[in-house]
């Protein structure tokens, strides 16, 4: 993926019980990102969107689409990528 605008790399936060626990206990934030983005692009995008934070680590996971059946017609949900971004201990991001 070519260098793009940070809003094209980060699609949005993943707000779940597990991600909230990681945020409060380990200072890790979970984002849904573009499947073509690599770890360096994700790190750069986070640091550009929130200039007062520094990223120490990025972990990514790819999720394959699942087969679904709706009203008798088959379909497939889209594949997506999740990134867990670790910040310095004194940095925080206000998501909501």
pTM recorded for the entire structure: 0.88
| Domains of the chain and CATH, by start | 6-68+76-87 (3.30.70.330)
Query: What one-character DSSP code corresponds to residue 79?
Result: P
Query: What pLDDT, in 10s, does the model give residues 25-71?
Result: 999 999 999 999 999 999 999 999 999 999 999 999 999 999 988 77
CA dist., res. 82 & res. 61, Å (int): 5
Query: Does the pLDDT at position 7 exceed 90?
Result: no
Angle at 58 between CA 29 and CA 8, to 5 degrees: 75
**How far is 85 from 23, CA to CA, in rounded Å?**
10
Nearest Cα to Cα of residue 44 among 90, 92, 94, 83: 83
């Amino acid at each position: 993926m070519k260098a793009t605008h940070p809003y094209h790399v980060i699609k949005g936060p993943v707000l779940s019980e597990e991600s909230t626990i990681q945020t409060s206990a380990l200072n890790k934030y979970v984002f849904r990102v573009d499947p073509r983005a690599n770890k360096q692009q994700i790190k750069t995008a986070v640091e550009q969107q929130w200039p007062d934070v520094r990223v120490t680590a990025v972990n990514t996971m790819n999720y394959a689409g699942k087969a679904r059946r709706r009203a008798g017609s088959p379909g497939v949900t889209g594949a997506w990528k999740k990134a867990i971004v670790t910040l310095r201990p004194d940095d925080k991001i206000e998501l909501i």
